[in-house]
């Protein structure tokens, strides 16, 4: 697996990371622990050195899973985790008070079984707490050796700039994919200017871009996609045009939809590191194969042309969750 450096931070990771959320949270019942640990270790053995988790995923069980998976491995990968919710529960609201940040860090160190957190993200910007105070709290943890790098998630350009002035931001994690290109307007230019890496989550459109989901698909009752307007049956039916367009390119490149979607992201900037997640070994192998798919300028133009006339239907978040992003 090739390596990439997240901006000017010096944080070198595999070109593709692994988003661990779905193993414990968000997409229905948690994956059985032994199977989940096997998947994580398989990814590591295949060259993945960047794993993404959060106290909110479970809560807490996802961090514990990673801690157990890598407990006996001497050359540990880079692990990113997050703070920012009351008691680690998103539905209870935001909490980025400096004391809370410190408490989350101490607890995460124990669950992950590490001496320092490689990348510590603010999960969502908390309007009640000045972003300078948040950055300052993480700066203190970095000086104490408990955290190595500071990150932000779904933050807007102004918040990023203000935080970066206090403690350099190594990476921003936000949604970015062939069906959510909003970051191209203001976020990517700001990150390039400041030397900040970008970690796209949901790079496969929460599974939709793979072609495995149709308007007939029924999700588990605990699957959060049931609350996402873009995943209503009507929206899925309309958005099938995007999947078909990606599929046409994939066929020409002897690749899969997922591989084209991930290769497209990798081709955008050398400091972009997508973090696709999966609960299936064959999907992991498929995703990792995208790092070997080379898209020429002509291929990228063909993808752009194919999608230019297609309007994505449905918001990417419910109204409640939308209020938490781009602050």
Contacts of 297 (CB under 8 A, 6+ apart): none
Question: Within 10 A of 185 (CB to CB), how many other CB atoms are there?
Answer: 9
- Residue 41 CA to residue 66 CA, distance in Å, equals 9
* Residue in 27, 44, 57, 121 annotated catalytic: 57
State whether residue 52 is helix, strand or coil. Answer: strand
Give the whole-angstrom CA distance, residue 196 versus residue 176: 15
Distance, in Å, from the CA atom of 209 to the CA atom of 87, rounded to the nearest integer, reads 33
Residue 73 dihedral angles phi and psi, to the nearest 5° = -95, 120
Q: Which two tokens stand for residue 102?
A: 């410190």
Q: Are 50 and 80 in contact (CB under 8 A)?
A: yes
Residue 147: beta bridge partners?
117
**Residue 72 CA from chain centroid, whole number:** 26
> Who contacts 183 (Cβ-Cβ below 8 Å, separation ≥6)?
174, 175, 176, 198, 200
Q: Closest Cα partner for 182 from 46, 317, 48?
A: 317
- Residues 6+ positions from 323 with CB-CB distance below 8 Å: none
Residue pointed to by tokens 């595999």: 14
Q: List the structure tokens of 100.
A: 């809370």
Question: Could you give the 3-state DSSP secondary structure of residue 133?
Answer: helix
57 is known as an active-site residue = yes
Using an 8 Å Cβ cutoff, are 288 and 44 in contact?
A: no
The structure tokens listed for 199 are 């970690």
Q: Which residues are catalytic?
A: 57
């Amino acid at each position: 697996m090739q390596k990439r450096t997240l901006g000017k931070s010096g944080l070198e990771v595999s070109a593709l990371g692994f988003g661990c959320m779905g193993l414990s949270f968000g997409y229905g019942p948690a994956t059985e622990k032994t199977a989940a640990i096997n998947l994580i270790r398989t990814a590591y053995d295949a060259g993945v050195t960047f794993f993404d988790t959060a106290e909110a995923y479970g809560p807490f069980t996802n961090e514990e899973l990673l801690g157990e998976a890598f407990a006996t491995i001497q050359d540990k990968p880079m692990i990113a985790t997050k703070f920012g919710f009351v008691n680690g529960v998103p539905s209870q609201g935001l909490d980025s008070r400096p004391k809370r940040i410190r408490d989350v860090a101490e607890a995460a160190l124990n669950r992950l079984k590490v001496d320092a957190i490689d990348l510590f993200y603010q999960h969502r910007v908390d309007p009640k707490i000045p972003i300078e105070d948040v950055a300052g709290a993480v700066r203190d943890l970095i000086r104490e050796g408990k955290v190595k790098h500071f990150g932000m998630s779904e933050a807007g350009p102004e918040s990023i700039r203000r935080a970066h002035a206090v403690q350099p931001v190594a990476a921003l994690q936000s949604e970015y994919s062939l069906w959510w290109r909003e970051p191209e307007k203001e976020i990517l230019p700001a990150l390039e200017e400041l030397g900040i890496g970008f970690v796209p989550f949901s790079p496969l459109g929460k599974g939709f871009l793979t072609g495995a989901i149709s308007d007939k698909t029924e999700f588990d009752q605990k699957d959060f996609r049931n609350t996402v307007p873009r995943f209503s049956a009507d929206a899925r039916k309309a958005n099938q045009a995007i999947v078909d367009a990606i599929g046409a390119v994939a066929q020409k490149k002897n690749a899969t939809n997922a591989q084209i979607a991930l290769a497209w992201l990798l081709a955008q900037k050398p400091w972009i590191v997508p973090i696709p997640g999966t609960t299936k070994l064959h999907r992991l192998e498929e995703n990792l194969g995208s790092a070997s798919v080379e898209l020429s300028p002509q291929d990228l133009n063909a993808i752009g042309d194919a999608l230019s006339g297609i309007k994505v239907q449905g918001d990417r978040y419910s109204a409640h969750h939308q209020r938490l992003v781009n602050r």
